[in-house]
Amino acid sequence: MPATSASIRRARALLGTFVEIDVADRPGGDAESAVDTAFAAVADVHRLMSFHDAESDVSRLNLMASRGAVTVHPWTYAVLEMALDMAHHSNGAFDIGVAGVRRPLAGQSSPGFDSIELLADHRVRFGDPGVKIDLGGIAKGFAVDCAIDALRSCGVRSAMVNAGGDLATFGGGARLVHIRDPRSPDRLLCQVAVSDGALASSARRFDPFRSAETTATAVVDPSTRLPAHAALGATVRAPTCMVADALTKIIMIAPQSALSQLARYGASALLVAPNGDILRTADWQGDLQHAA
C-alpha cells in the first residue's frame, strides 16, 4: 500500500507497558488527533479497570460489591460479561474472581467467578465477601479493541494498535508480526501476517531495560494461585483482542481444555510446551522463523 502523508506511528506508556498506534491511512484528515483519541480510549480503560487505582471500577467493586450492587461503566460491564463467559466455559481456568485469596485451603472451595452477579443497568454484586476481582488478564485486549473502534470512528481506514504484544489491525492488507521466543525473548520464534483481526501473546515477564532473561509468568493458575506452568508461552489469533488476550491465559493454565474454547471463539493458537515443543492448532497460519 502506498504511504500517504497522513501515516503516523506513535507510542506511549500505558497499561504498564508500551502502547503503539500506527495509522496508515487517514485520508485528508488529521491523523494526529485520531491517534490522540485512540490513546485517550486506552487511558480510559486503564482508569476504569486498574487493580491498583483506588478510584477504578475494579477497586470500587472490590471494596463495596459484596455489600450491595455497584453501578459500573458500560465498558467495565462488557469486560465482566466476557470474563464470566470465559470462566464458565473453561471450568474456572480463567477466573477474574480469585484476587482476594492468596492460597486456597486444602479441600475447601474458595470464592471465585461464580459469586459475581451481573444485574440490570450495569450493576454488579458479589455474593461472597471473599471475592476480589482483577481484570489484568483481559482488560489490555479490551483496551486495544476500544482504540481500534476510536480510530474507525475518526475516519481512519487502516491502522494497528499494539499494547505490549496484544494487538489488533484493520484495513490496508496484512501486517507482519514477529513473535518473541518465550524461551529466550531476545530471539524470534516465528512471524505471522495479521489483517482485520487480533493477536495476543502470554509468556514469562521480560524487561530488556534490566536483563535479556525472563522472570516468572504473570499468569496465575486459579486452582493453585501459583504461576501457570502448562506452557512457556502462547499466542492466539482471534476476531477481537479481548478474546485473544483471555484465551492466551486459558492456554497457559489448561492447554487441553483451551482447544474447545479456541474453536468456540473462532480462534487459532500456537504454544511452546515446557519441553520446548512448538504446538499449534490445525488452523494456525504462520511461518517459523528460519535460523539466521
Partner 1 sequence: MNNWLKWTAPAAAIVSAAAPAYALQYMSVEEAQKAAFPGASFAEVQTGRVWKASNGGYFYYDHVVGKHLLIDYTVAIGPDGRVHRVDILNYRESYGGEVHDPNWLGQFVGKGSQSELRINSDIRNISGATLSSTHLTEGVKKVLTYHASHFR
Residues 32-71 that bind partner 1 (CB under 8 A): 32
- 88 sits near partner 1 (criterion: CB under 8 A): no
According to DSSP, residue 42 is labeled: H
Residue from 25, 95, 134, 181 in contact with partner 1 (CB under 8 A) = 181
- 160 sits near partner 1 (criterion: CB under 8 A): yes
In the bound state with partner 1, the residue whose beta carbon lies nearer, of 7 and 59, is 7
Residue numbers 184-213 binding partner 1 by CB under 8 A: 184-189, 192, 199-212
- 102 sits near partner 1 (criterion: CB under 8 A): no
Residue numbers 207-246 binding partner 1 by CB under 8 A: 207-212, 214, 218, 233, 235
- 291 sits near partner 1 (criterion: CB under 8 A): yes
- 255 sits near partner 1 (criterion: CB under 8 A): yes
Q: Are 216 and 206 in contact (CB under 8 A)?
A: no
Neighbours of 286 (CB within 10 A): 19
Q: Are 234 and 201 in contact (CB under 8 A)?
A: yes
Record the cell numbers describing residue 286, joined without a space: 504462520
- C-beta of 67: minimal distance to partner 1 in Å? 34
Three-state SS for 48-112 is HHCCCCCCCHHHHHHHHCCCCCEECCHHHHHHHHHHHHHHHHCCCCCCCCECCCCCCCCCCCCCC
Cα angle 266, 193, 279; round to 5: 60
- 151 sits near partner 1 (criterion: CB under 8 A): no
- C-beta of 240: minimal distance to partner 1 in Å? 15
